Every structure is written in C-alpha cells, then in structure tokens.
Chains A and B, each alone.
Chain A
Amino acid sequence: MNPRRVFVYFPAFVKGYIRNPLGLFFSLIFPIILVLIFGAVFANSGSSQVPLTVQNLDQNSPLSQEFLALLNHTGAVSLSFVGPSVGNLSTYLSHNSLSAGLVIPSGFAYDVNHSIPVRLLVYTNPSAGSSAGIVEGAVQGAAYGMNLRIAGGTPIVNPSYLNVGSTIFTYIDYLVPGLVGFSILVSPMFSMVNISSTWKRDKLFRQLSLTPLTRGEWLTATLIWYVLLATVSAFILVSVGKLVFGAHVTITWLAIPFLIVGPIFFVSLGLLAGSVSSTPESAGVVGNIITFPMMFLSGTFFPVSLFPAYLVTVAHALPLYYVIDGLNNAMVFNDPSAVLKDAVIVGVLAVVFAVLAARVFSWREK
C-alpha cells in the first residue's frame, strides 16, 4: 500500500464520478427529494389532532358555540365547518373522503335550555384506525363538560397530561437517520455494481493493472470517496430535516462509525455482486435484488417499530437495519451502549464482506 498512489488516483476517480450527473443525483439530490416528500406527507403524524367536519344546524346559537369551544379545547380534534347547504353530512363526508363529522341539530340551544335531551350526530369511519376513537372521546368529553356545567357541578377527578421522555419524537426524527442509511446503502451499492461490471467489460481494470496502482490502493481511494459522500449526504439531510421540518437530530461522534463502516460494507457488497455477474445487465439485476428489499425493510422510510412482528424478524436479518438503528441511537437518542452494539454488528459484517470481495474481485486473468 503506497499512500502517494492512493492520493494520485483519488482525484481522478472523483472527477469521473462527479462529471456523471446521474451518480451525484442519486447520492446527494435524491435523498433530499425523499426527505422533502416524506417529511411533507407525514409532517402531521406527530401531532395527533384528527380533522373533524362540523355542520352546525343551530345557526350559531351561543350555546352551540360554547359546545364547540369545549370541543376545540380538548386539543384532540381540529375543527372545520360546513353550512346547512351541503345537505346530508354523511353523504358530504364520503364524497370528500373525510373520515369524521359532527352534526349539531337545529334547536340545540332551545332543547338544552329546556332540559330536553338532545342528540348529537357523530360520524366516524372505523377503518380510519384510532381516529374514530379520538373523535368519539373528544365529543363525549365536551358533552360531559357541558352537562356538568348545566348541572352546576365541579370536576373532582382531574387528570394531568405529560409526555414520555424530554422530547416528543416525531416521524421526521426517524426519517432523517433512515435516509442517511438510504444514502449509505444506495450510492455505493449502485455505483459499485455498475463499476465492477462495466469496468470489467471495458477492460478498465486491466488498464489500471498496467500501472503500479494496486487493487488495495484502488479500493482505499474508492472507500474514501464513498465515506466522504455519505458524510456530506448526512450533513445535508440533517440540515434539511432541521430547517424545513424542525427535526430533533444531530450528527454526534456516535454517528461516525456508521458513516465509515456502512460505506465499507456496501462497497464490498456491490463489488461482490458485480464481480460474480458476467454482464453489466445481470449485475444490475443482482444489485437490485439485494438493494430494494433492504431499502424498504430496514427502517429507511418508516420506523421498524411500526412493522408487524414477522417483518421485524426480516428487518433484523438485514445489515442496513443495524446501520439505521445505530444512526437512530446516535443521532436521535444519543445512546452510546446501543450504538456500540449496532456498530460491532456492522463492523463485523463489513470486515467479512470486504475480505470476500477482495478474494473474488480480480484485475488479472488466470
């Protein structure tokens, strides 16, 4: 290993990489697009307010306004209003893909004032998961509150609501480390599969083998580049997550093992996949078969904790899971002992696959 040759070759490799816009797009730009899209789509999933469409047929009587104020005060629902002109609310809800609605009947104030029992119509969609229960609970809470006031009572049992942990973790906090993991997976895998197969076809390894550059020096320069790329990508993703969505993530020293060992593992895996394939086309297929399941099942886009049990088992068999779990432990939870466990697993895998790749990947032909 001659470090001088590594640093002579490195800029040539980087020029070749960055002058091909497609490579840079997938390694740096694409993860940003993903964080923006997923972040925007799931931005509200952290706050549990359920949208509730209200049709007030009691023509804004003070009493109906009081009831709606109580409902709003629960914080569980966000209210939007439709007038009597939309007709049957149930029909309106289903035509507009809304899952919850409330009808305050006409004469609501009169009936309440004359102690005539009054019926509130609550529409919920059981298939919309927990939101149906949230709506029912909120409406019931507001109704009890109103009943209590009319009866002149005082609440005796009062719950006080607190959060678990010091910070409320939202979807975006899991998404940012997930997409850092995505970068660590995708840019080395796709380009190493491509390089190891097309360079073999175009005899570029043969060309390099005519110079004093060794395989080890070549691999070192290549690894430095992908570690650099993963690190840059991580900083960009964290910045976008923080600035655009207020994510609670930081790149701490604990993230460094994954930004180094992760690319080493996937460079080796990509090299191996490309080396065992006879043509660039079959290498692409092999690469995709490895990459795509790992991309979706390792907690890249969604936390593995949301997976059903059998998919969690699958996730635990995927190397990328430990990269992303480790990044979560480092960037979100700041938990050194959990980081160590993940780092050891990824490190062992990286060493094993690097050795395998070095044995299979050859420049000269026997």
Chain B
Amino acid sequence: MADPIEVSKLVKTYGSLRAVDGVDFVLHAGEVFSFLGPNGAGKTTTVEILEGLRQRTSGEVRVLSLDPWTESDRLKGRIGVIPQDFHFFPKLTPREALNLYAGLFGCKIDADELLARVELSDKADSYYDTLSGGQHQKLGVALALVNDPEVCFLDEPTTGLDPRARRSIWDVIRTLRREGRTVFLTTHYLEEAQQLSDRIAIINLGHVIASGSPDEIIARYGRRARVRFTGDPALVERVRALGLTAEPDNGGVEVEVGNQRDVLRVLETLESSGLPWRSFSTVSDTLEDVFIRLVGRIEDAALPTEEKGEARG
C-alpha cells in the first residue's frame, strides 16, 4: 500500500517569493509527523496544499493516492483538518457545529461522546463566541474528527494556548496515533514536536533542511555528547592529556566524549588528581539546540521581509 502522503519537488511561489522551494517528504501510515520551522518558513503553505486548500505551482503531491487540488471532493471525506487560526460561526454551539458537519459529511456521530473526547462537554450548548481560545481549538479538533479521518492535519494547533490547554491537545494527538491515524502536525514548539512525533522535518526558507526521528536528527546535527564539571582550572590540562577536547564553559568545563569509556576515563582522572571538583553531569543536545544551530533563534529566523498573511508557514 502506498504511503498516505507523498510529496516530491513541491514548489509554491507568490510573485517572486518562493514560499516552498523544492520540498520532498513521505508520511508512513500511522505515524505522527511534525513539520517544524520558524514563522514564514513555508509550513502552512505546504500543509494547505496537502489539504487541497491551495494550488501548488509545481511538483508532485499525493494524499491517500489522490491529488489534493483536483480530487479535493473525494479527499475531503477521508481527511480531518484543523487549520491555522481556526474560527467558527460565532452564534453556533459546539453541539450544533458537530451536527452540521456530520450532516454535511453524511455520517452518524455521537456528539456527546466526541465533545467528551476533547473535554468540551460542559460547553456543548454555549455559543462559539463565548468560548475561550483553548475551547475554540478543542472544537476545531472535534470537527476534524467528525468524518473519522484516515489522515489528520493539525496546523499549529496549540499556538497561543495556555500550558493546560496545550497538554489536553497533546493527549488528543496521542489518542489519534493510538487509533492508527496518520497525523501531520505543524508547530514551532520544539518540545511539542519532540514529545509527540515519530518523525520530524525541519523547514526553513522553503527548504527541508533536516528530517528523521528526533533522535536521528539530534545524532546527525547535534554536537557529540559531553560531560560537564566544575573544579580546579588545572583539571582542564589533565583531561586534555587523555586526548579529549575540553573547554572552559560558563564557570565549568565541558569535555566531548565519544562513548562510556571516555566518561569513565574523565571521572578517573578527576578522582586521581587530588584536586577539588564537583557537580559532574552528562550533557547532550536537545532538539531545540539542534534547531537553533540549524536555523538560528526561532523568533529571529522569520523571513527578512515580514511575510504577507497568505504566505505564512
């Protein structure tokens, strides 16, 4: 069976701006795939092309073996989408919204059960415009699930939410994965991607610059593992004598280590030196360290000219 999402050489231009510039990736069935990148990197443009909301300039895109632009009508019933900046009709209640969707998709749902899943039961009959941002987002998730989709697209589902609301969205995403659905998540929260994803692609300025599981990305683009301690400055030379790279760093010393033996050799050297030392720890790069090394600080990495609303990513 073909992979649920296949993208190759995808390009989208807005005038002279190449928002997406030759992107390739594949989603395997049942995995959570995160598309990470700073604002304006091309995330939303890509995901909207996959959802059939936007026409691509060139390249090949298949979602569930369908062309999302020309075969949108057949695709709609099989995918669930929470777009970025999800809004709904202000004077409808979540229950009415779900029943409307069920009617339009022509499927039977248990609105109470669906609302309970996203923890929105107590607001089932309140107008949308009286709900909080987190509750709006939960309704968006519930709406995306009405048609029991095979593939779910979540475009920055937790942006602007408080930590509690964010965690309840995460729980829903984990449940989607348990149910065997394929999830395409875009986010600029690295912690979110690292916690939820099977695989990640990092996109910047329209290019995928790294992809793989979080561990693979860290292993490939992160620095080597290190140990860190504080102690007598003379210890730096003793450690270097082992043939390891040691650098004073922020009041302590960091030593690059290749394996567990190196760690033990550093410990032995410290212990046998007779010099004072303390707070020995191992240090490894997080996804955030890698991300910052690859694209710079997230906030600083936006396109030089502030992207126009439509070209956000």
Residues in A lying within 8 Å of B, measured CB to CB? 4-5, 8-9, 12, 15-16, 19-20, 202-204, 206-207, 209-213, 364-366
The 10 closest A-B pairs by CB, nearest first: A8-B103, A19-B91, A202-B87, A211-B104, A12-B100, A16-B91, A16-B89, A366-B55, A210-B81, A213-B104
Question: A19 near B76 (CB under 8 angstroms)?
Answer: no
Asked if A365 and B53 make an inter-chain contact with CB atoms under 8 angstroms apart, the answer reads: yes
Contact (Cβ within 8 A) A9 B81 = no
CB-nearest residue of chain A to B54: A365
Give bound CA distance, A206 to B72, whole Å: 13
Q: Mark B84-118, 1 if CB is under 8 A from A, else 0.
A: 01111111100010001101111000000000000
28 example contacts (A-B, Cβ-Cβ < 8 A) are as follows: A5-B103, A8-B103, A8-B104, A9-B103, A9-B104, A12-B89, A12-B92, A12-B96, A16-B92, A20-B91, A203-B85, A204-B87, A204-B88, A204-B89, A207-B83, A207-B87, A207-B88, A209-B53, A210-B51, A210-B76, A211-B101, A211-B105, A212-B104, A213-B104, A365-B48, A365-B55, A365-B310, A366-B55
> CB of B252 within 8 A of chain A?
no
- Within the complex, the shortest CB–CB distance from B249 to chain A, in Å, comes to 47
The answer for the CA separation of A209 and B89 in the assembled complex, in Å, is 14
Chain B, 113-131, CB within 8 A of any chain A CB = 127
Q: Which residue of B lies closest to A363 (CB)?
A: B53
B55 contacts A16, C-beta separation under 8 Å: no
Which of A15, A203, A213 is in CB contact (< 8 Å) with B96?
Answer: A15
Q: A residues within 8 A CB of B310?
A: 365
Q: Which residue of chain B is the closest to A217 with respect to CB atoms?
A: B104
Residues of chain B within 8 A (CB-CB) of A12 are: 89, 92, 96, 100
Tell me, in angstroms, the Cα distance from A209 to B81 when the chains sit together. 11
Which chain A residues lie closer than 8 Å to B91 at the CB level?
15-16, 19-20
In the bound assembly, the distance between CA atoms of A203 and B51 in angstroms comes to 15
Instruction: Give the CA-CA distance A204 to B54 in the complex, in Å.
Output: 15
Shortest C-beta distance, A161 to chain B (Å), equals 59
* Residue B162 at the chain A interface, CB threshold 8 Å: no
Residues in B whose Cβ lies below 8 Å from that of A203 = 83, 85, 87
Q: Looking at the complex, which one of B55, B76, B92 makes contact with A211 (CB distance below 8 Å)? A: B76
B83 touches A206 (CB 8 A): yes
A12 to B104, CA, bound (A): 11
Q: In the complex, how many angstroms separate the beta carbon of A123 from the nearest chain B beta carbon?
A: 61
The answer to whether A8 touches B100 (Cβ under 8 A) is yes
Annotate B244-281 by CB proximity to A: 1 below 8 A, 0 otherwise.
00000000000000000000000000000000000000
Which residues of B lie under 8 Å from residue A365 when comparing CB positions?
48, 53-55, 310
- Given A5-B104, A8-B103, A20-B91, A212-B83 contact (CB < 8 Å): no
- A202 / chain B contacts, CB cutoff of 8 Å: 87
Shortest Cβ distance from A19 into B: residue: B91
Contacts of B89 in A (CB 8 A): 12, 16, 204
CA distance A210 to B54 in the complex (A): 12
B52 interface contact, C-beta 8 A: yes
Say yes or no for B73: interface residue by CB 8 A criterion.
yes
Chain B residue nearest to A5 in the complex (CB): B104
Q: Which residues of A contact B51 (CB under 8 A)?
A: 210
B73–A212 contact, CB under 8 A? yes
Hey, which chain B residues are within 8 Å of A16, CB to CB?
Answer: 89-92
Residues of A contacting B81 in the complex (Cβ-Cβ under 8 angstroms): 210
- B52-94 with Cβ < 8 A to chain A: 52-55, 72-73, 76-77, 81, 83, 85-92
**Is the Cβ of A19 less than 8 Å from the Cβ of B100?**
no
CB distance from B281 to the nearest CB of A (A): 48
**B83: A residues at CB distance < 8 A:** 203, 206-207, 210
Can you name the residue of chain A whose Cβ is closest to the Cβ of B147? A211
Find the A residue at minimum CB distance from B128.
A16
CA distance A204 to B129 in the complex (A): 14
**Do residues B88 and A212 form an inter-chain contact, with CB atoms below 8 A?**
no
Look across to chain A and name the residue whose beta carbon is closest to the beta carbon of B80.
A210
Within 8 Å CB of B96, what residues of A? Answer: 12, 15
Q: Is the CB of B86 within 8 A of A207?
A: yes
Which of A15, A212, A366 sits near B92, CB closer than 8 Å?
A15
Most buried by A among B73, B100, B104, B310: B104
User: Are the C-beta atoms of A364 and B53 separated by less than 8 Å?
Assistant: yes
Q: Which B residue's beta carbon lies closest to that of A202?
A: B87
A100 to B53, CA, bound (A): 73
A contact residues around B72 at 8 Å (CB)? 364
B63 CB → nearest A CB, Å: 13
Q: How far is the CA of A357 from the CA of B242 in the complex (A)?
A: 78
Chain B, range 158-175, C-beta contacts under 8 Å to A: none
A5 to B54 Cα, complex, angstroms = 24
- Assembled-state Cα–Cα distance A9/B96 (Å): 11
Q: A15-B96, A19-B127 are in contact. Are A212 and B85 (CB under 8 A)?
A: no
Task: Give the complex CA separation of A164 and B299 in angstroms.
Answer: 81
**Considering the chains assembled together, what is the distance between the CA atoms of A252 and B13 in angstroms?**
57
Residues on A with C-beta less than 8 A from B87 are 202-204, 207
A306 to B301, CA, bound (A): 68
Given contacts A5-B103, A207-B86, A212-B105, 19 further A-B contacts (CB under 8 A): A5-B104, A8-B104, A9-B104, A15-B92, A15-B96, A16-B91, A16-B92, A19-B91, A19-B127, A20-B91, A204-B87, A206-B53, A210-B51, A211-B105, A212-B76, A364-B52, A364-B53, A365-B53, A365-B54
Chain A nearest Cβ from B312, distance in angstroms: 12
Chain A residue numbers with a CB within 8 Å of B85 are 203
The distance from the CB of A266 to the nearest CB of chain B, in whole angstroms, is: 22
Contact check, B106 vs A4: say whether CB atoms are below 8 A apart. yes
A16 to B76, CA, bound (A): 24
